[in-house]
C-alpha cells in the first residue's frame, strides 16, 4: 500500500526482544529506536549476534516484540500485521526459493499469493525475469541455478507484490563480486522508483556505497546513526570499517571468544 506522503516508512521506538528458552532467556534488543525515511536506504550494521536479523524479524512481523512500538508503511505491526505484510517484501538470510520449481513457477507462486490476477501476474513475472536476467533460465528448476541466480530470484520473488518497504537481510553474503554488483544496481533502481529499503550487511563497503543512512546496532541498541560520511567525520575515521571497530568493541571483561558465543546457534549455521 503506497504511503501518501514522504513521512517515515519505518518508525521504531523502544523495541525490546528477548528470546525465551529452557536454557535461559537472552535479551537481544534492548530499546532500539530507528527511523527510516520513505524512499531511502538505511543500512543496519553490527557485529555477529548484535540482533540485526532479529530486528528485521520483528519489523517484518515474523517475530513478536516484547515492548516498544513499530510502524511500517504507516501501519502498526501489532495491530495491523496483514496491512504491514501487504506493504513489505522480505529477503531473509536463507534464500527462500522452492528448489523443485522453476524460476517462472516460483515467481508465479508469489503472483498468485499476492492475488495479482492471471494476466497482471504473468506480466509481472516476465518483467521481473527480464529485469533480473533470469529469462533464459526461467524454465529450469531452481535446483540447477548458481548461488547468485538463486539470490536474484529470491529478490525478484520479494518484489512481485511491488512492496513499498523492502527488508534485505545480508542480501549479498556469499555472492561473487559480479553478482553483488548486479544486486546493488537493483537496490539503487528500487530506491529510484520510490521504494524504502532497510538492509543489514557484514560488508561495510556495501553500506558505504548504497546507504543514505547507517545505523550501528550493538549490545541491543543503536549506538550510532547518520550518513556514512557523518559517521566517518564524527569518529575521525577513514572508512566505515574503522567506525565499526571503534563503536562495537566488546565490553570490558569479555573477549572475542565469549562475544562469539553470543551468536545465536541458528545464526551461526546460516552464515554461509
Partner 1 sequence: MTTIATPVPTAVARPRPVADVRTMLRRNLLRAVRYPGLTMFMVLGPLVMLVLFVYVFGGALGAGVDPGAAPGAEARAAYLDYLTPTLLVITIVGAGQSVAISAAMDAYGGIMARFKTMAISPGSVLSGQVLGTVIQGILALVLVLAAAFAMGYRPEADALDWLALAGVLVLLAFALAWLCVAMGLNAKSVETASNTPMILLLLPFLGSGFVPVETMPTPVQWFAQHQPFTPIIETVRGLLAGGAGLDGSVALTAVAWLVLIGVAGYVWARSLFRRERRI
Binding site for partner 1 (CB under 8 A): 1-6, 9, 19, 21, 38-39, 53-54, 57, 60-64, 82-83, 85-88, 90, 92-101, 105, 109, 112-117, 120-121, 124, 141, 157, 161-164, 193-196, 264, 266-267
Q: Running DSSP on this structure, what letter comes out for residue 213?
A: E
Q: Which residue lies nearer to partner 1 by CB, 109 or 245?
A: 109
Q: How far is the CB of 62 from partner 1 (least distance, A)?
A: 6
Q: How far is the CB of 7 from partner 1 (least distance, A)?
A: 10
Q: How far apart are CA 224 and CA 231, in angstroms?
A: 8
SS3 10: strand
Q: How far is the CB of 3 from partner 1 (least distance, A)?
A: 5
Q: Which residue lies nearer to partner 1 by CB, 40 or 232?
A: 40
Q: Which residue lies nearer to partner 1 by CB, 66 or 230?
A: 66
Q: How far is the CB of 58 from partner 1 (least distance, A)?
A: 10
Are 42 and 8 spatial neighbours (Cβ–Cβ below 8 Å)?
Answer: no
Q: Which residue lies nearer to partner 1 by CB, 2 or 133?
A: 2
First-residue to last-residue Cα distance in the chain: 34
Q: How far is the CB of 45 from partner 1 (least distance, A)?
A: 18
Q: Which residue lies nearer to partner 1 by CB, 106 or 179?
A: 106
Q: How far is the CB of 94 from partner 1 (least distance, A)?
A: 3
Cell of 25: 532467556
* DSSP state letters, 63-117: S--SEEEEEETTEETTT-HHHHHHHEEEE-SS----TTSBHHHHHHHHHHHTT--
Q: Which residue lies nearer to partner 1 by CB, 162 or 233?
A: 162
Q: Which residue lies nearer to partner 1 by CB, 17 or 232?
A: 17
The closest of 10, 26, 11, 16 to 65, measured between CA atoms, is 16
Please give the backbone phi and psi of residue 186, each rounded to the nearest 5 degrees, phi first.
-60, -45
Are 91 and 39 spatial neighbours (Cβ–Cβ below 8 Å)?
Answer: no
Q: Which residue lies nearer to partner 1 by CB, 117 or 133?
A: 117
Q: How far is the CB of 70 from partner 1 (least distance, A)?
A: 14
Q: How far apart are CA 152 and CA 133, in angstroms?
A: 9
Neighbour tally for 99: CB within 10 Å:
12
Q: How far apart are CA 191 and CA 245, in angstroms?
A: 29
Q: How far is the CB of 63 from partner 1 (least distance, A)?
A: 6
CA dist 162 to 40, 101, 150, 270, Å? 16, 22, 19, 27
Amino acid at each position: 500500500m503506497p504511503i501518501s506522503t514522504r513521512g517515515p516508512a519505518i518508525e521504531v521506538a523502544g523495541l525490546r526482544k528477548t528470546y525465551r528458552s529452557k536454557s535461559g532467556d537472552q535479551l537481544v534488543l534492548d530499546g532500539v529506536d530507528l527511523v527510516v525515511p520513505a524512499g531511502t536506504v538505511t543500512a543496519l550494521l553490527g557485529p555477529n549476534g548484535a540482533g540485526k536479523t532479529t530486528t528485521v524479524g520483528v519489523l517484518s512481523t515474523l517475530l513478536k516484540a516484547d515492548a516498544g512500538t513499530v510502524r511500517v508503511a504507516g501501519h502498526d505491526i501489532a495491530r495491523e500485521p496483514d496491512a504491514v505484510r501487504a506493504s513489505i517484501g522480505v529477503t531473509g538470510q536463507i534464500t527462500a526459493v522452492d528448489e523443485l520449481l522453476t524460476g517462472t513457477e516460483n515467481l508465479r507462486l508469489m503472483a498468485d499469493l499476492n492475488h495479482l490476477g492471471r494476466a497482471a501476474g504473468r506480466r509481472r513475472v516476465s518483467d521481473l525475469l527480464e529485469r533480473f536476467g533470469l529469462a533464459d533460465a526461467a524454465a529450469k528448476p531452481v535446483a540447477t541455478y548458481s548461488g547468485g541466480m538463486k539470490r536474484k530470484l529470491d529478490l525478484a520473488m520479494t518484489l512481485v507484490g511491488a512492496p513499498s518497504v523492502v527488508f534485505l537481510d545480508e542480501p549479498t553474503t556469499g555472492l561473487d563480486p559480479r553478482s553483488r554488483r548486479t544486486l546493488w544496481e537493483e537496490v539503487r533502481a528500487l530506491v529510484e522508483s520510490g521504494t524504502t529499503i532497510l538492509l543489514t550487511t557484514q560488508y561495510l563497503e556495501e553500506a558505504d556505497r548504497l546507504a543514505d543512512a547507517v545505523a550501528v546496532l550493538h549490545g541491543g541498541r543503536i549506538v550510532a546513526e547518520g550518513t556514512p560520511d557523518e559517521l566517518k567525520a564524527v569518529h575521525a575515521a577513514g572508512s566505515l570499517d574503522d567506525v565499526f571497530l571503534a563503536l562495537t568493541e566488546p565490553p570490558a571483561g569479555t573477549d572475542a571468544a565469549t562475544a562469539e558465543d553470543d551468536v545465536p546457534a541458528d545464526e551461526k549455521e546460516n552464515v554461509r
